[in-house]
C-alpha cells in the first residue's frame, strides 16, 4: 500500500541471538594396540556440543519475549570392529540438558481471562447489578473491594489487549484476546545409552540390531509464569476468589473456576518436577536384516524384514485426595500403556537394462505386516484407571517402488 499501512517497522520487536559450538575427539587404538584377537580394531570418542533454537515470537503473560530454547550435549563411547569388518559394535552414552523449551501448561490462556471475568463481575456487583439474593450487601462489598483492590498492572492488560476501564461494560473478556505466541517454559535433562551391532555373516547377508535406553527429567516446569501464578493463586484463595459468577444466576466462584481450569494443571506440573517422564518409552529395539542373491536363478533378488519394538509408555496417573481435601496425582505410580511391536517386510529385484546403461530396481514393501486390530489406549480416567481415549493402530501399508540409476 502506498500509504505505508503494510510497511514493516525498521526496528524489530524481537531479536534472538545465540552461538552454536561443537567439538569432538576420536582415538584409534590400532596405532598402539597391535594384533588384537579376531583382528579387532577399537576406537573411543568424546563429543560436546551446544546450540540454540531461534524460536522468535514466544512471549510470556506480559507479552515479553522469552529466551530461546538452548541445549548442551555430552556423549562418549567406543567402536569395535572385528573379523575384518564383518562385526561392528558401537556403544554410546549421552546426556543432554535443554533449557527454556516450550512447555504445554493446560489452560494457560485462563491466566488472563480469569482477570477479565473477575473484573466484570466485581464491576457489576459494585453497581448493585445482578447480585445474589442469598448474600448480604456487606459481603458482596468485601469481595468486590478485594478484587478491585488488587488488579494486575496496566502492562498486563495491555499484553492481553484488554481495557479495564471500559471493556468490561460490553464484553466478558474486556475486549481482549490471548497474546500472540503465548508460551511458558521448562528445562529437561535426558540421559541414555545406545547399542548398535552390525553383522555381515556373508557377502550377501547383513544384520543390524539397535537398542536404546533413555530417560528424562523435567525441572523448572512453567518457570516463566510460576511467580505470577503463585501470587494470583494467593489472591484468588482470599475473599476475592469467593466472588460469584454473575451470568445465569450461577453460584460458582471465581476461585473454583481458577482451580479447575488452571491451578490444578499447574499443581500437576509441579508434581512432575524432578521425576522421570513416563511419556518417554524407556527402551526401544530395532532389528533389520536383508539378503541379496548374487548368483543362480534368484540372482538380483533381495529379501528382508525388520522388527520395531517399543517399551510401555505412561498414559496417566492415579488420583487421590490428600489430608487437605485436595485432589492429587500419584506421579510415582503412573498407569502404563502397552508396549508395541511392528514388523516390516520387503522383496525386491534389480538388474541392468538397456545395454547395461541403467540400473533398474523394483521393490515391494509391506509396512506393519502383521497389524493388530486392537485399539491402543492413550489416556486414562484418573479415578479408576480405565482408558479415557484410544488411537487406531497404524494400518498395513503396501507400496511398490521403481528406481532407475544411470
Nearest-5° angle of CA 203, CA 205, CA 207? 125
Long-range contacts, stretch 344-347, CB < 8 angstroms, 24+ apart? 344/305, 344/306, 344/308, 344/368, 344/369, 345/304, 345/305, 345/369, 346/290, 346/302, 346/303, 346/304, 346/305, 347/301, 347/302, 347/303
The range of the structural domain enclosing residue 369 comes to 280-406
Whether residue 368 is contained in a domain is answered as: yes
* The residue count for the chain: 406
**Number of domains into which the chain is organized:** 1
Alpha carbon separation from 67 to 102, 140, 229, 291 (Å, rounded): 10, 43, 19, 51
The per-residue pLDDT string of the chain (406 residues; one tens digit each, 9 = 90 and over) reads 556 556 766 777 667 777 889 999 999 888 777 788 888 999 999 999 999 988 878 999 999 999 999 999 999 999 999 999 999 999 999 999 999 999 989 899 999 989 988 888 888 777 654 444 444 466 667 778 888 889 999 999 999 988 888 877 776 666 688 999 999 999 999 999 999 999 999 999 999 999 999 999 989 999 999 999 999 999 999 888 888 765 444 567 888 889 888 998 898 888 888 877 877 899 999 999 999 999 999 999 999 999 999 999 988 888 888 787 777 778 888 899 999 999 999 999 999 998 888 999 999 999 999 988 899 999 888 667 889 899 999 999 999 999 998 8
Whether residue 187 is contained in a domain is answered as: no
Whether residue 290 is contained in a domain is answered as: yes
Whether residue 298 is contained in a domain is answered as: yes
Please report which helix (H) or strand (E) contains residue 116, including its range: helix 110-126
- Do residues 353 and 395 make contact, with C-beta atoms less than 8 angstroms apart? no
Whether residue 379 is contained in a domain is answered as: yes
Whether residue 215 is contained in a domain is answered as: no
Whether residue 399 is contained in a domain is answered as: yes
Q: Cα separation of 118 and 257, whole Å?
A: 11
User: What does the block give as the cell for 137?
Assistant: 450487601
pTM of the model: 0.76
Whether residue 157 is contained in a domain is answered as: no
Residue 368 CB neighbour total at 10 angstroms: 16
Amino acid at each position: 500500500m502506498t500509504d505505508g499501512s503494510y510497511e514493516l517497522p525498521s526496528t524489530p520487536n524481537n531479536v534472538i541471538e545465540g552461538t552454536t559450538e561443537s567439538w569432538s575427539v576420536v582415538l584409534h587404538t590400532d596405532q598402539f594396540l597391535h594384533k588384537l584377537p579376531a583382528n579387532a580394531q577399537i576406537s573411543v570418542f568424546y563429543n560436546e556440543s551446544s546450540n540454540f533454537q531461534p524460536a522468535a515470537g514466544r512471549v510470556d503473560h506480559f507479552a515479553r519475549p522469552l529466551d530461546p530454547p538452548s541445549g548442551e550435549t555430552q556423549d562418549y563411547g567406543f567402536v569395535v570392529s572385528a573379523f575384518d569388518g564383518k562385526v561392528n559394535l558401537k556403544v554410546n552414552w549421552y546426556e543432554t540438558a535443554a533449557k527454556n523449551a516450550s512447555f504445554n501448561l493446560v489452560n494457560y490462556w485462563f491466566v488472563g481471562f480469569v482477570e477479565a471475568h473477575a473484573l466484570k463481575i466485581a464491576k457489576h456487583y459494585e453497581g448493585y447489578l445482578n447480585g445474589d439474593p442469598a448474600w448480604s450487601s456487606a459481603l458482596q462489598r468485601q469481595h468486590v473491594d478485594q478484587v478491585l483492590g488488587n488488579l494486575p498492572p496496566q502492562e498486563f492488560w495491555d499484553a492481553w489487549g484488554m481495557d479495564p476501564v471500559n471493556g468490561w461494560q460490553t464484553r466478558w473478556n474486556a475486549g481482549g484476546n490471548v497474546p500472540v505466541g503465548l508460551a511458558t517454559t521448562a528445562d529437561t535433562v535426558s540421559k541414555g545409552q545406545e547399542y548398535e551391532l552390525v553383522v555381515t555373516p556373508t557377502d550377501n547377508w547383513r544384520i543390524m540390531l539397535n537398542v536404546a535406553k533413555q530417560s528424562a527429567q523435567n525441572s523448572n516446569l512453567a518457570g516463566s509464569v510460576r511467580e505470577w501464578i503463585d501470587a494470583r493463586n494467593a489472591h484468588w484463595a482470599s475473599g476475592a476468589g469467593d466472588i460469584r459468577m454473575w451470568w445465569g444466576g450461577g453460584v460458582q466462584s471465581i476461585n473454583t473456576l481458577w482451580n479447575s481450569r488452571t491451578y490444578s494443571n499447574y499443581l500437576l506440573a509441579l508434581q512432575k518436577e524432578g521425576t522421570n517422564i513416563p511419556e518417554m518409552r524407556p527402551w526401544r529395539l530395532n532389528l533389520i536384516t536383508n539378503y541379496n542373491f548374487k548368483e543362480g536363478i534368484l540372482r538380483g533378488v533381495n529379501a528382508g524384514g525388520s522388527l520395531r519394538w517399543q517399551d510401555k509408555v505412561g498414559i496417566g496417573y492415579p488420583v487421590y485426595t490428600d489430608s487437605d481435601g485436595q485432589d492429587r496425582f500419584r506421579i510415582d505410580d503412573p498407569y502404563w500403556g502397552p508396549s508395541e511391536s511392528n514388523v516390516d517386510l520387503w522383496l525386491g529385484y534389480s538388474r541392468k537394462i538397456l545395454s547395461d546403461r541403467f540400473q533398474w530396481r523394483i521393490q515391494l514393501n509391506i509396512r506393519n505386516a502383521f497389524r493388530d486390530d486392537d485399539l491402543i489406549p492413550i489416556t486414562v480416567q484418573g479415578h479408576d484407571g480405565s482408558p479415557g481415549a484410544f488411537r487406531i493402530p497404524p494400518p498395513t501399508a503396501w507400496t511398490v517402488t521403481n528406481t532407475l540409476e544411470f
